[in-house]
Amino acid sequence: MSVVISSLSKDQEKKLLSLFSHAKLHLLYKATVHGFTAAAFHSRCDKQGPTIIVAYNAAGFVFGAYTSKDYTQSGAGINDEAAFLYSIKDGENKPLRVSGITGQCAFTDEGTGPNYGALVFLHDNQPAVQSNPGTRFQFQAAAMHGDDLALTEFEVYRVEALGDLLVKPWRIMQWTAERKQELMKFIQNYKPDIKTVNKPRVLLVGPVGAGKSSFFNSINSAFRGNMTLQAITGTAGTSVTTQFRMYTIKAGKGGKALPLILCDTMGLEENANAGLDIEDLVSICKGHVQDRYQFSTCGSILEDSPGYKKHTTLNDRIHCVVYVVDTCKVSLLTQKMLDKFAAIRKKTIQMGIPQIVLMTKVDEACPLVAEDLKNVYRSVYIQKKAREISESIGIPLSCVLPVKNYCEELGLDVEIDTLLLTAVEQMLNYADNYFENQITDNLDNQPEMYRSGDQFQNCINSNE
């Protein structure tokens, strides 16, 4: 799935956001990528809720229209008192904002380009605007677009209200150095409640660019005490990770390895023949795929493929699956991507593997969280996104964990570490649930293989 990048500069985005009380923009459509046609516009922008058009011309103007209503191609005139036109020009401190003429509809909801009367975008399916000041909106053409009606770019963003902070956090967290140390001690001293497993294996799965490799690097950094980049990360449109990797984490440089293996895969992509193959994922979960196996775009791994492990034990299997999702893109997950998640979820449920969702980049998704990471469980917006991904993927809200990976920091941060380590704690707890199910399923036949030490003896005593 290629990455479509906004053409807005930081200053332009700031000015655009100043037109709203507290909002976040999500890019839906970019004409130089998707096409300067009404059909391309409607295929990506219909029924998206509040949206804002951003048109660019060679004269240096960024201008467009906002509506709080859906585009549906109903053919009717749409009344929207919240609608407005705007213009941003370099050198001007504030955007020009133009409200609609009282008593007139805001736009005509038809199958053509967006028609706001005074401005008709994608006119005749061309990179152009038709300008008719006085029709529904009144403005001076020179101030709105500098009389340059040819477009160099045309974008549409969904406008999402961020809301305020909750009076009480929807989860209680302790943001102290003591809590961080407590979490680190728990993870370092963890022991699987099953004899045949040395270290739980946690599989990270998610779309390209969601932050799977960055999550491992961040956990590794927290335990090493400095920034690390063991897993390769990047911003390419396709997956930077092309191998199946099993990463161990050490407590300090040259220290003892933690009782945990984080497994990284190729990113998920929309197309059936791109990104991680679901059958490969099943093989990984069953323990058949060896470390550093090179994924192939020609098909899934076969029993006679190099890197395929025929004979596996419980120690080789995946004990917890973690879906990694960019919080900024929760609302932008396509149906194809959600279908892939659903297919993976069905397979993992069949194998009895517990599942968690990590919502990354929470600071980029909500300015209130960027201001203070401790706001993550007080942010109305983050809570909304957590509920949305919970419903979309079918994972209970209690299994959705917001985190922030290290990306631009040069030193460790207690609050970032607290979120990261809490996520690892939950992964180990869920792996325990998996092991408990294995013990229950196999206790009658092979108790000595699943219990260890005093736990096995207690089990025998209880059966006498």
Task: From 131, 161, 191, give the residue that closes a domain.
Answer: 161
- Regarding whether 201 and 137 lie in a shared domain, the answer is no
Residue 385 and residue 404: Cα distance in Å, rounded?
15
Residue 4 lies in a domain: no
Number of H helices, E strands in the chain: 14, 17
Which residue from 287, 226, 239 is spatially nearest to 267, judged by alpha carbons?
239
Task: From 103, 130, 161, give the residue that closes a domain.
Answer: 161
- Regarding whether 300 and 227 lie in a shared domain, the answer is yes
- Regarding whether 423 and 398 lie in a shared domain, the answer is yes
Q: How many CB atoms lie within 10 A of CB 74?
A: 12
- Regarding whether 84 and 226 lie in a shared domain, the answer is no
Residue 397 in tokens: 């809200």
Grouping H, G, I as helix, E, B as strand and the rest as coil, residue 126 is: coil
C-beta of residue 136 within 8 angstroms of C-beta of residue 104: yes
- Regarding whether 100 and 192 lie in a shared domain, the answer is no
- Regarding whether 242 and 94 lie in a shared domain, the answer is no
- Regarding whether 149 and 99 lie in a shared domain, the answer is yes
- Regarding whether 194 and 132 lie in a shared domain, the answer is no
- Regarding whether 266 and 134 lie in a shared domain, the answer is no
Residue 191 and residue 181: Cα distance in Å, rounded?
18
Beta-carbon contacts of residue 345 (< 8 Å; ≥ 6 apart) = 355, 393, 394, 395
CATH of the domain at 182: 3.40.50.300
Q: How far is CA 277 from CA 29, 331, 356, 374, in A?
A: 27, 24, 20, 37
Residue 246 lies in a domain: yes
Where are the extended beta strands (E) located within 31-150?
Answer: 51-56, 61-67, 77-78, 84-89, 96-99, 107-108, 119-121, 129-131
Beta bridge partners of 67: 51
Residue 83 in tokens: 């609608």
- Regarding whether 194 and 114 lie in a shared domain, the answer is no
Q: Identify the DSSP state of 328.
A: G
* pLDDT value for 455: 38
CA-atom Rg of the chain in angstroms:
26
- Burial class for 352, CB neighbours closer than 10 Å (0-12, 13-18, 19+): exposed
C-beta of residue 205 within 8 angstroms of C-beta of residue 193: no
* pLDDT value for 240: 52
Residue 418 lies in a domain: yes
Which residue from 95, 97, 89 is spatially nearest to 145, judged by alpha carbons?
89
Residue 206 lies in a domain: yes
Our measurement of the distance from residue 218's CA atom to the centroid of its chain's CA atoms, rounded to an integer in Å, reads 17
Residue 316 and residue 322: Cα distance in Å, rounded?
17
Task: From 161, 185, 219, give the residue that closes a domain.
Answer: 161
Residue 325 lies in a domain: yes
- Regarding whether 423 and 302 lie in a shared domain, the answer is yes
Our measurement of the distance from residue 225's CA atom to the centroid of its chain's CA atoms, rounded to an integer in Å, reads 27
Number of independent structural domains in the chain: 2
Grouping H, G, I as helix, E, B as strand and the rest as coil, residue 84 is: strand
pTM above 0.75?
A: no
Per-residue tens of pLDDT for the chain, all 464 residues: 456 899 999 889 989 999 997 788 999 999 999 999 999 999 999 999 999 999 999 999 999 999 999 999 999 999 999 999 999 998 888 899 999 999 999 999 999 999 999 999 999 999 999 999 999 999 999 999 999 999 999 999 999 888 789 999 999 999 999 999 999 999 999 998 888 888 999 999 998 888 898 999 999 999 998 888 776 555 444 445 577 889 999 888 888 899 999 999 888 887 666 677 888 889 999 989 888 888 776 667 777 777 788 888 899 999 999 999 999 888 778 888 898 899 999 999 999 999 999 999 999 989 899 999 999 999 999 999 999 999 999 999 999 999 999 988 889 999 999 999 999 999 999 999 999 888 655 544 444 333 333 333 333 333 33
- Regarding whether 148 and 190 lie in a shared domain, the answer is no
Q: 């775009």: which residue's tokens?
A: 297
What is the span of the domain harbouring residue 353?
177-460
